[in-house]
Amino acid sequence: MNTKTILVTGGAGYIGSHTCKALKNAGWIPVTVDNLVHGHRRAVRWGPLVEGDIREQAVLDRVFERYAPDAVIHFAAYAYVGESVHDPARYYRNNVGGTLSLLTAMRRHGCRRVVFSSSCATYGIPAKVPIAESFAQQPVNPYGRSKRMVEQILEDYDSAYGLRYVSLRYFNAAGADPQGETGEDHDPETHLIPLAMDAVLGRIPFLEIYGTDYDTPDGTAVRDYVHVSDLAEIHTRAVAYLCAGGDSCALNLGTGSGHSVWRVVAAVESVTGRRVPVKSSARRPGDPAVLYARVDRAVELLDWRPRFASLEAIVETAWSWHRRLREGA
């Protein structure tokens, strides 16, 4: 395979940085464009960084003219559900407006392949599980709606302009690079596993569990946790698929099974050897009891299977990264 350059928007972020490493290992050159609002300069280690906002056409023009990317992987977005409810304009302006700016630059420079970082939030509250790609998409918050809008835009751009895409609908990304070269570092942190580890380390007084009265085996919400390195791998496969002439599509990314909050707490305690202090609170509005993916389409189309099959394996990589990040261990 000839060396190809891939533009990675948001490549300084959590999933983006892992994907840049996977791209480099697969023989591509990842070029990151990131405004560093939530990303980290230190996370860009496998290709050049262009600091800038994708809503600025001048920034994109410089990138396309200098690097002539063969395809784009588009992560750049705000992703805090609660914030999106309180400030939807920020989310539509950045997530939808930024994507339109990116697609405009792609058309102007003749780049017609994009892998889009979508979300299971586009489904809203499903009537049943596991969730298949054919299920109705009825998002219940502005963040999910912004992702659904972009998926619709991509469908229209494919029909009108021949821009081919793969929309990847993630469930719960978790874990860290097994070699410890990059990992999860959000501010503020909202994800369950790193919050449990912050509670273990005494950085927060307790892990707050929202809802212990769901209709699930132990009363807590069940989610599908997929390792971030597995997500990174399928991005490289999606790029290769598009570069080989593959058709546009949308794929769920998960493990096909779910774990409850209490099960995650138990896994963190088992891996760390320390107790997780917890506090039970009321359910959050709009939180479904159970969410997990049907992933056979990704298996069939891209021959992708998660390598980190167990929750403990995911937690072990997260703990190794998190302890070093927080304690310097």
Which positions are annotated as active-site residues? 143
Which of 113, 79, 112 has its CA nearest to residue 98?
Answer: 79
Cα separations in angstroms, 266 against 165, 235, 269? 39, 31, 5
Per DSSP, which regions of 228-324 are E strands? 249-253, 259-260, 278-281
The label of the residue with tokens 């927080």 reads 326
Cβ atoms of residues 314 and 259 within 8 Å:
no
What is the chain's length?
329
Strands 164-170 and 29-34: unpaired
Rounded Cα–Cα distance for residues 261 and 114 (Å): 34
* Beta-bridge mates of residue 71: 6
Cβ atoms of residues 148 and 289 within 8 Å:
no
200-206 contacts at long range (C-beta below 8 A, 24 or more positions apart) = 200/268, 200/269, 200/272, 200/274, 200/275, 200/276, 201/322, 201/323, 201/326, 201/327, 203/326, 205/277, 206/277, 206/278, 206/279
Cβ atoms of residues 265 and 196 within 8 Å:
yes
Which of 129, 227, 123, 125 has its CA nearest to residue 167?
Answer: 123
The label of the residue with tokens 């960084």 reads 49
Q: Which residues contact 138 (CB under 8 A, 6 or more apart)?
A: 123, 124, 125
